[in-house]
Amino acid sequence: MSFRTTATSVDYVEDVSPGSGALPPRAWYASSDAQSLSLNGGWSFRLSPTADAEDDSFAAEGYDAGGWAEVSVPGHWVLQGDGAFGSPIYTNHLYPFPVDPPRVPTENPTGDHLRYFDLPEGWPADGGAVVRFDGVESCARVWLNGTEIGEFKGSRLPHEFTVGHLLKPTDNVLAVRVHQWSAGSYLEDQDQWWLPGIFRDVTLLHRPVGSAVDFFVHASYDHVGSLGTLRVDSDVDGRVLVPALDIDVATGEPVTVAVVPWTAETPKLYDGELVTAGERVPLRIGFRTVALEDGLLKVNGKAILFKGVNRHEWHPVKGRALDVETMREDVLLMKRHNINAVRTSHYPPHPAFLDLCDEYGLWVIDECDLETHGFTEQNWRDNPVDDDRWTPALLDRAARMVERDKNHPSVVIWSLGNEAGTGRGLTAMAEWIHGRDSSRLVHYEGDWNCRDTDIYSRMYAEHAEVERIGQGLDGGTHKRRALPFIQCEYGHAMGNGPGGLADYQRVFEAYERLQGGFIWEWIDHGVTHPKLGFAYGGDFGEELHDGNFVCDGLIFPDRTPSPGLLEFKKVIEPVRIEGDGAGGTVRVRNAFDFADLSSLSFEWSYQVDGKTVEHGPLPVPALAPGESAEVKLPQPPSGGPGGEALWTVRALLAEDTAWGKKDHQVAWAQLPVTERPLPTVVPGDGPTASEKLIYLGPASFDVRTGALKTIGGVDVTGLRLDVWRAPTDNDDGASWQDDTRYGLLWRKYGFHRMQHRLDGVELGEDALTVRTRVAPAAWEIGLRTTYRWTSDGTRLKLTVSVDPEGDWTIPLPRLGIRFGLSSADAVKWYGGGPGEGYPDTKSASMLGRWHSTVDELQTPYVRPQENGARPDVRWAELGGLRVDGDPEFWFTARRWTTEQLDAAEHLTDLRPGDTVWVNLDHGQMGIGSQSCGPGALPQYHLLAEPTEFSFVFSTTE
């Protein structure tokens, strides 16, 4: 007996097959002469709660959709209509529906879409036409003028249907029914928002008689002879023209000529054309050869080093419906930050993105739209990639990626997908890809034995393990031992961080087998929200969600670079500048793989106490890749003031390029010449007391507690030792991690609720001494803390001595003092800047004189957390006070307390108070990458040990 009562069959939704009716996959190209019509724009839209709530009569000609709403295509309906069309759901790997493949819930939001169109004037009557969908999540059924033409799954892959026989000159109606959930959803469990809709272009393409259909550009490069060989295999015979190379050959015929090769650093493209009887197709040809040779991934005969990022498609308003300008912005930002590679995590991107990678030069790992991560919850039982019934769907996905993208020189590696366990389906995909395209390598991280792959790939491996792999001491299968290694994900950029990038880069550069990696990830997937600023998981009332784990990018949702991106840029800079400033020479090394240094100009400047005394050009030879040279610096400027002196050497773009302006800074270094003289205060008169106050130099203190009250005319509140910071995502670590999640341990041990016991206030001959013990309730650990104040009459010196007591087993978050100022805004400092930096994230911090405001010192992490510390600060001025450090310190100032920062969940929770809270830290704990990977390396741990540090206060008026 059947319970199904509606007229519409929805069996295809839960069918494991990829669909029916679509044309075979082929290269994605825009013809120069065949017509096309974009069907993007406003579409009539109706949302139903289930797949079969409405019958299919809407697809019929003449249907009256007058009462329907409208959505924009490309777009996701859940991000339109102000919540009227449901809302996004964020889960990392948990399926937001019961796992019972291939079944999906009865509640299956289903969007019916209608688009009316006329053919443009002059649309040819001969030939055929196809309608192409570049991306629809997750399953669609399509009708044109009332005739059903097919259904498909494979959200981020193109699907085309023959429609010429159905077209009319006017009043065509394209009907598309889109289901949020389908069998395909089981294959698309990537860590991102679930966002149904027609989110990429829909295009009608005229297909003239004799059009090219599909073609494969083979353009290899023989680096020994500097020769390129071109052969274009085409379904339909024709000619291949490349005027700049004098090439005019038949399709299928190879031709070898002298060429300039394509690399990500030197992206030379030759314009060509494929001419068939029916159309002309523009080609952009890049000659390069990718090979696995001597256990290394080589391009044009050279091993390359990936300095890459994982890029999801993201826009805070439009979700994964990106326009070309946004894609270009991504590429330009990458190029300007020294990034040379992209893994298209975890699906093939909009094809226009790959055009940009060809044009501007980025190595690409093109990844298939496949992830079944949620099956890990059941030990991978019933995993579709190990179940033959699903293999046709997997092969369909592999073919749609490879056929669409095969003509891009930027694509050097095909990736089978992400986090899908292991199984026969993956092997079948790899075999198919190897058979179809032997000119690229195959990647998949999930199989550490490398059974199907050409490269050993891992994610979030610790530094020490990466080093062992580099040394070949990691064991593994016989096959794996002969393969190069990459980290397809590392440096988890969630919130403040990632830390430890410089340490990874050192290891990558030390061992040939290590060919670099890809930071996780490029952009925070925050959703613009009227009340919350940027929303993350849980903000839409999802039943299951993974919070702000979706905000883990190097750029904020609005594409502002985060400190993590600036750090990465510095760590991977393609020119290394080193040396001993006092020695008068600097060693410059070209760390590019292919480009010489002729595109760069160098300059030197000489700073004393952060002020530039003189600067000038530095002639550096156009070193070949890998070469280095000792370059002489000029005579240090004479007669300048004594103080801390250093050289700053910069490498800049010598001319405008496609991606950067002349003088754009590519690399830099600072070379110390003389050390900074430490501030001294010779104690003068000692403290005196009145009934209420103690006086010492410019300062007054509470007579009972010894608490500082004023310095000159400046009121100071609550000055005391501080060890607490609002835990970062990396402090808190990921839920599956072990007992080194310090953010949790700090709370357990009460570092956020330290009590300050007063043990004594002593008025000495030349000093006021306040003795305390700082310790959390319930524990025996504590910090004996002594504040010793002296003054020379105008300046006030505080020396803090800290002696740990008890059994300290974990590092401290921070160690320093904090205090409140009643009015402060403009900030000046001499130290690291201009942005924040922590012990393992301060490579990009440049020593100089900086100025800012309290508000601008804040780094707007989507989920508020510790941020904004300026490292290596010699002195800072704020609110009428100047502080000189002995030694240098970390400087932080904000309009809320650490406790308020800690309690906030969104930036909009942070409300400025009347007091500016200042932290001067002697130490900060490293940041690490434990929100997904390893924590801070031991050398960046802030251990509780006997410590002494001083600050000298004076007023600036």
Measured from the CB atom, is 242 or 364 closer to ligand GAL?
364
**Residue 498 Cβ vs ligand GAL, minimum distance, rounded to whole Å:** 11
Q: Helix, strand, or coil here: 931?
A: coil
Question: Annotated catalytic, 403?
Answer: no
Question: Annotated catalytic, 489?
Answer: yes
Report which residue's Cβ sits closest to ligand GAL. Answer: 191
CA distance 551 to 645: 41
Measured from the CB atom, is 292 or 734 closer to ligand GAL?
734
Q: Which of 339, 402, 824, 932 binds ligand GAL (CB under 6 A)?
A: 932
**Residue 549 Cβ vs ligand GAL, minimum distance, rounded to whole Å:** 6
Which residue bears the tokens 């669409």?
404
92 binds ligand GAL (CB under 6 A): yes
418 binds ligand GAL (CB under 6 A): yes
- CA 519 and chain centroid, separation: 6
Measured from the CB atom, is 127 or 547 closer to ligand GAL?
547
Q: From residue 453 to residue 472, what is the string marking binding to ligand GAL with x (rule CB under 6 A)?
A: ------x-------------
Q: From residue 530 to residue 549, what is the string marking binding to ligand GAL with x (rule CB under 6 A)?
A: -------------------x
Strands in 51-102 per DSSP E = 69-73, 89-91
Q: Which of 137, 467, 539, 552 binds ligand GAL (CB under 6 A)?
A: 552
Instruction: Please answer whether residues 129 and 167 qualify as being in contact, where contact means their C-beta atoms are separated by less than 8 angstroms.
Output: yes
Q: Which of 151, 191, 366, 474 binds ligand GAL (CB under 6 A)?
A: 191
Residue numbers 343-382 binding ligand GAL by CB under 6 A: 346
Catalytic residue chosen out of the listed positions 137, 279, 419, 888 = 419
Q: From residue 503 to residue 532, what is the string marking binding to ligand GAL with x (rule CB under 6 A)?
A: -----------------x------------
Measured from the CB atom, is 133 or 520 closer to ligand GAL?
520
Measured from the CB atom, is 418 or 955 closer to ligand GAL?
418
Which residue bears the tokens 């890749």?
625
Measured from the CB atom, is 188 or 191 closer to ligand GAL?
191
Instruction: Please answer whether residues 770 and 758 qualify as being in contact, where contact means their C-beta atoms are separated by less than 8 angstroms.
Output: yes
Tokens of 179: 């289901």
Cβ neighbors of 647 (< 8 A, separation 6 or more) are 581, 586, 604, 605, 606, 607, 633, 670, 671, 673
**Residue 345 Cβ vs ligand GAL, minimum distance, rounded to whole Å:** 6
393 binds ligand GAL (CB under 6 A): no
Measured from the CB atom, is 418 or 845 closer to ligand GAL?
418
- Reading phi first (left if > 0) and then psi (alpha if -120 to 50, else beta), residue 558 is in alpha
What is residue 461's DSSP assignment? -
239-248: which pairs have CB atoms within 8 A and are 24 or more residues apart?
Answer: 239/274, 239/275, 240/272, 240/273, 240/274, 240/275, 240/283, 241/272, 241/273, 241/275, 242/270, 242/271, 242/272, 242/273, 242/283, 242/285, 243/271, 243/272, 244/270, 244/271, 245/270, 247/272
Bridge partner residues of 817 (DSSP): 721, 920
**Residue 341 Cβ vs ligand GAL, minimum distance, rounded to whole Å:** 16
What is residue 453's DSSP assignment? -
Measured from the CB atom, is 502 or 734 closer to ligand GAL?
734
187 binds ligand GAL (CB under 6 A): no
Measured N-to-C along each axis, helices 424-436 and 391-405 cross at an angle, to the nearest 10 degrees, of: 30
**Residue 306 Cβ vs ligand GAL, minimum distance, rounded to whole Å:** 16
Residue numbers 327-346 binding ligand GAL by CB under 6 A: 346
CA distance 648 to 602: 10
What is residue 765's DSSP assignment? S
**Residue 191 Cβ vs ligand GAL, minimum distance, rounded to whole Å:** 3
Measured from the CB atom, is 114 or 370 closer to ligand GAL?
370
Cα-based torsion angle of the residue sequence 206, 207, 209, 211 in order, rounded to the nearest 10 degrees? 130
Instruction: Please answer whether residues 188 and 58 qualify as being in contact, where contact means their C-beta atoms are separated by less than 8 angstroms.
Output: no
Measured from the CB atom, is 687 or 935 closer to ligand GAL?
935
Tokens of 322: 């990106």
**Residue 851 Cβ vs ligand GAL, minimum distance, rounded to whole Å:** 36
**Residue 485 Cβ vs ligand GAL, minimum distance, rounded to whole Å:** 17
Full DSSP string of 419-431: S----HHHHHHHH
CA distance 654 to 658: 13
Residue 356 C-beta-side C-alpha neighbours within 13 Å = 22
Measured from the CB atom, is 520 or 522 closer to ligand GAL?
520
Tokens of 247: 């090439």
Peptide bond preceding 839: is omega within 30 degrees of 0, i.e. cis? no
CA distance 957 to 942: 36
Cβ neighbors of 62 (< 8 A, separation 6 or more) are none
Instruction: Please answer whether residues 200 and 183 qualify as being in contact, where contact means their C-beta atoms are separated by less than 8 angstroms.
Output: no
Exposed e or buried b per residue across 394-432, where buried means at least 16 C-beta atoms within 10 angstroms of its C-beta = bbbbbbbbbbbbbbbbbbbbbbbbbbbbbbebbbbbbee
> How many chain residues touch ligand GAL (CB under 6 A)?
13
**Residue 189 Cβ vs ligand GAL, minimum distance, rounded to whole Å:** 10
**Residue 648 Cβ vs ligand GAL, minimum distance, rounded to whole Å:** 36
Measured from the CB atom, is 235 or 462 closer to ligand GAL?
462
Cβ neighbors of 294 (< 8 A, separation 6 or more) are none
Q: From residue 626 to residue 645, what is the string marking binding to ligand GAL with x (rule CB under 6 A)?
A: --------------------
CA distance 920 to 930: 26
Tokens of 384: 């579709």
Measured from the CB atom, is 187 or 259 closer to ligand GAL?
187
61-67: which pairs have CB atoms within 8 A and are 24 or more residues apart?
Answer: 61/145, 61/146, 61/171, 61/173, 63/114, 63/173, 65/114
Peptide bond preceding 521: is omega within 30 degrees of 0, i.e. cis? yes
489 binds ligand GAL (CB under 6 A): yes
**Residue 347 Cβ vs ligand GAL, minimum distance, rounded to whole Å:** 11
Catalytic residue chosen out of the listed positions 265, 489, 877, 888 = 489
Tokens of 878: 């704020």
**Residue 526 Cβ vs ligand GAL, minimum distance, rounded to whole Å:** 14
**Residue 933 Cβ vs ligand GAL, minimum distance, rounded to whole Å:** 9
Could you count the other beta carbons within 10 Å of the beta carbon of residue 655? 11
Candidates 417, 460, 470; CA nearest to 442 is 417
| Chain positions contacting ligand GAL, by CB under 6 A | 92, 190-191, 346, 418-419, 459, 489, 492, 520, 549, 552, 932
Residue positions annotated with a catalytic role: 419, 489
